[in-house]
Amino acid sequence: MADGRREPPPYGRDRIRGSLGSNSPYEGGRGGGHPSMRGGYPPHGGPGGAGGGAGASYQTQERRPTWRNPSPGPSESRDAVPSTSAAVSTPAFSTNVHEPPPQPQPSSSGLGNIGRPLHRAAGPRRRPLADTLRTRGPDAPSKHGTTGQPLQLQSNYFKLLKRVDWTLYHYQVEMVPPCASPRLMQSLVNEHKKLLGGFVFDGVQLFTACKLSNDELVLHSQHDRTGDKYELHIQRVAVVDMTDETGIQVLNLILRRAMNGLNLQLVGRNLYDAAAKIPIREYHIELWPGYITSIRQHENEVLVCCEIAHKTMRMQTCYDILRECQRHDRNFKDAFRRAVIGCVVLTGYNNKTYTIHDVTFETTPESTFDTKNGKISFLDYYKNKYNLRIRDSYQPMLLSRAKKKDTRSGDSELMALVPELCQMTGLTDSMRSDFKMMRAMADHTRLNPDRRIERLETFNRRLQTSPESQEVFKVWQMELDRRLVELPGRLLPQEMIFFSTTSNGVQAGENADWTAHFRDNPMFATVRLSRWYLIVPSRCQREAGDFLNCMITAARGMRFEISNCEMVPMPDDSPGTYIRTLDAIINRDPQMIMCVVSNSKSDRYTAIKKKCCVERAIPTQIMVQKTITPKSGNVRTLMSVATKVVIQMNCKLGGVPWKVKIPLNGLMTIGFDVCHDSKDKSKSFGAMVATLDHDNRGTPKFFSTVSHHSSGEEISNYLPLNTVKALNEYRREFGELPKRIIFYRDGVSDGQLQYIYDHEVRSLVEKLGQIYKSAGIEQDVLLTFFIVNKRINTRFFDHRLNPRPGTVVDNVVTLPQRTDFYLVSQSVKQGTVSPTAYNVIYDTSGLKIDHLQMLSYKQCHLYYNWSGTTRVPAVCQYAHKLSFLVGQYLHQTPSNMLEKKLYFL
């Protein structure tokens, strides 16, 4: 969501017409006129379809009534808005005529100034496709590994049985006069479907399976209701190769058109089945099942990926929230704004989603706006157009900024919505913290592999049997396989976990969880804890004392020396009291401070962390009272929690709980991630965490740093500099530079790969080359740069079960232009396990693909907050943890005196 302090887009392309007025009980009577409104266009279809059919129902959009906020007059109250000019809406299917808009005036809504350009280009403009980053050369060594036990797996992909080898012709369409309604544009093109044959039309570009008679054509169409005449100027642009980016995009459009036969609804970007919604009435929410689909050219086949998705819909409208605010808050206006601004709502009459950016109490459904046929109120508009009766005619209106694609197609930048007609979507923070509700949702959303396969096969069957879908496939000569794709995989050997340099190690186990082994083994390296303090509110002293005894017992079993700490009671648990107590303790030079808090309120957590991570450099451990309270009064139930806390505290002091064998000396492994500032979305913080391994037998060292990025700054400005800091730390510790660097970059989407390669990777390689040459090392730096992506839709099944940890897939569903693979590193008890995608975009290491795969799997065993494997390499998880701490709570760079410790665990 855009930051509230940014300059908003201008409001409207509106003509000056009379004024409008209304009574609003929320403002205490007649406070003056109301902001002007503009009527909307009727629903219209999205991109064109197979065989020139009409627009798909799930692509329905509508030009919404829009909002202008004029300047308050000098004699008016702060909340009142005087009479002013109203906007004019052209009727559906007619051209727009504009007069100069009024000068921008200050906004009383908090959205800033008003104003926009007078003219716009006709019709939508399609975003150009970025070329796929090709990082794999034709003479590159094999990307298919051989290590491990062979497996035969299935994946959530279907083959296109008939190879798409037909030619597609690309044309540009311009309409004279310009047309703002995509539905009308689709209708005008459909009039010539006999001439065009099978085609796809997106409002500007036309793709046909048959070559037209001339490269330039002018076709004539007429609106069937108004009689308006249009000329369609069609010009050939290119011939499309169905294996390139444009051809694949057309295939995705055809698939979407075929899915129209399933009667799905488009909510956001994905399609959901509202008829199959799952009500969870106890928590007033509904789950809409749906599908995420995409077609792509993979190693040897064009494959369709299909993933099951769920959309959370609340059985609550914005009007329900308004009534709650009126009942429980004296200043209900501010409470209502806080409750809805930033939320996404669904309007059921056109199945569109909107993000709420502001609320106007000056305008109500009784307010009128001008149309070609005269003034009309919102009450009458929705009654006439959708047969919807608005019950409360005095409710305020919600304001939503239009998406860029909607403004390109003619919508104004601010759209007015009626709270009564807006259904809330998504979950609030309080809902997410309700364990029982999340568990009730998980019963429906976490599908086990067998249920997921069954749902995928049902989707395929519906797609194959729907008459409309069959017609689309027939026109485009496409056929979808009814079976899931089968592919080879491998199971990597189990890793050995070492708790000391002299032990033989223990196997991680089939589920990659070695928690039980801590009962019989010490930690690999510990730091004696002798000076530490326990800050606790007076009412929590008994629980804190019991938990402290459990910690000492657990530490003794792991050979971790913990002296009795000094307990510091406090009269209350306010943030100020914690700060004053910390100030007194920090002057005694403690190794660590543990704080017990009564609940999870963020203000208290933020105050403690800022004091100890920014102003001073003291590792802290914060425990919630509920966590250290024994179940049923049995203190032994706390031993599991105490064991994990003791491990965490040892890491924050510089200790290492365990290791795995990595047969590479002189290795530095780096992880990088970015988190946005929760207070200011224009800012973000990039965190880099490096593991320094000079000798496989020794204890690894850690280095972390955080860089602040303002809007517009390129991350590449900081990433090479931060890497140089890690190199200097490695040289201080071991007297030489690392022989090999493995870099794992998280938080990158496919669309950003080219940017990452051009800016971050190249600048990093250049900087490393300078450092190594200055040290007298002439050979190229042995660098491997991974892009790690865990937000993917690919799933794997092993005989209708989850694949075991260590499963690698590097064929069939991977991409031919990349050196990439999928790795299942975790074991899950519920649902279907999600693999992680690894993409090698730069590699001068000389390591085989087997070595890179095994090294990545080993790294997933080294996250010390959990005695098991993680979805991403440990350095990535550490970087995420650090960037999240800074972006959510600290909002500034931590003290550099903590760089060598995992203080952020």
Q: Which domain holds residue 602?
A: 526-653
Res 95: pLDDT: 27
Residue 360 counted as domain residue: yes
Using one digit for the tens of pLDDT, what is the confidence trace for 21-43? 333 333 333 333 333 333 333 33
Q: How far is CA 593 from the centre of its chain?
A: 35
Res 714: pLDDT: 54
Q: Taking the CB of residue 860, how many other CB atoms lie within 10 A of it?
A: 25
Given 406, 693, 746, 820, the catalytic residue: 746
Task: Outline where DSSP puts E strands in 546-591.
Answer: 566-570
Res 210: pLDDT: 84
User: To which residue do tokens 């008016």 refer?
Assistant: 76
Using one digit for the tens of pLDDT, what is the confidence trace for 558-587? 889 998 889 999 999 899 999 999 999 998
Residue 149 counted as domain residue: no
Residues 637 and 709 in one domain: no
Residue 320 known to be catalytic: no
Question: What's 579's domain CATH number?
Answer: 3.40.50.2300
CA-to-CA distance for 664 and 643, rounded, in angstroms? 31
pLDDT band at 715 (very low <50, low <70, confident <90, very high): low
Residues 716 and 755 in one domain: yes
Residue pair 568/593 in contact by the 8 Å Cβ criterion = no
Residues 596 and 687 in one domain: no
Going by their DSSP bridges, the two strands 352-355 and 374-377 should be labelled as unpaired
Res 107: pLDDT: 32
Burial of 833-851, coded b for 16+ CB within 10 Å and e otherwise, reads bbbbbbbbbbbebebebbb
pLDDT band at 707 (very low <50, low <70, confident <90, very high): very high
pLDDT at 865 over 70: yes
Residue 677 known to be catalytic: no
Residues 724 and 748 in one domain: yes
Domains in the chain, number? 4
Question: What's 185's domain CATH number?
Answer: 3.30.70.2620
Q: How far is CA 740 from the centre of its chain?
A: 32
Residues 602 and 682 in one domain: no
Three-state DSSP at 231 gives strand
Using one digit for the tens of pLDDT, what is the confidence trace for 833-845? 999 999 999 999 9
Residue 29 counted as domain residue: no
Using one digit for the tens of pLDDT, what is the confidence trace for 624-643? 999 999 887 788 888 989 99
Pull the structure tokens for residue 303: 């494959």
Domain boundary among 611, 629, 653: 653
Question: What's 781's domain CATH number?
Answer: 3.30.420.10
Pull the structure tokens for residue 425: 């979507």
State the average pLDDT over residues 779-788.
92
Question: What's 332's domain CATH number?
Answer: 2.170.260.10
Res 199: pLDDT: 85
Pull the structure tokens for residue 109: 């809504």
Specify the DSSP element, H or E, that contains 550. Answer: helix 541-557
Domain boundary among 408, 428, 448: 428
CA-to-CA distance for 591 and 617, rounded, in angstroms? 10
pLDDT band at 705 (very low <50, low <70, confident <90, very high): very high
Residues 776 and 737 in one domain: yes
Residue 518 counted as domain residue: no
Residues 873 and 753 in one domain: yes
Q: What residues have CB less than 8 Å from 776, skipping those under 6 apart?
A: none
Residue 203, sorted as left (phi over 0), alpha (psi -120 to 50) or beta, turns out to be: left
Residues 638 and 759 in one domain: no
Residues 649 and 672 in one domain: no
Residue 419 counted as domain residue: yes
pLDDT at 711 over 70: no
Residue 136 counted as domain residue: no
Q: Taking the CB of residue 456, how many other CB atoms lie within 10 A of it?
A: 22
Rg (CA), the chain: 31
In whole numbers, what is the pLDDT of the chain averaged over residues? 82
Three-state DSSP at 788 gives strand
Pull the structure tokens for residue 603: 């203000």
Residues 749 and 887 in one domain: yes
355-364, 624-633, 879-888: the lowest-pLDDT one = 624-633
Domain boundary among 428, 451, 473: 428
Residues 731 and 858 in one domain: yes
Q: What residues have CB less than 8 Å from 726, skipping those under 6 apart?
A: 668, 670, 688, 690, 692, 703, 705
State the average pLDDT over residues 162-167.
70
CA-to-CA distance for 823 and 838, rounded, in angstroms? 8
Q: Taking the CB of residue 430, how many other CB atoms lie within 10 A of it?
A: 8
Using one digit for the tens of pLDDT, what is the confidence trace for 211-225? 888 889 999 998 887
Pick from 70-84, 417-431, 655-669 the range whose average pLDDT is largest: 655-669
Residue 287 counted as domain residue: no
Residue pair 310/290 in contact by the 8 Å Cβ criterion = yes
Task: Report the greatest alpha carbon distance in the chain.
Answer: 90
Res 477: pLDDT: 82
Given 14, 358, 673, 850, the catalytic residue: 673
Res 204: pLDDT: 85
Res 164: pLDDT: 64
Residues 541 and 632 in one domain: yes
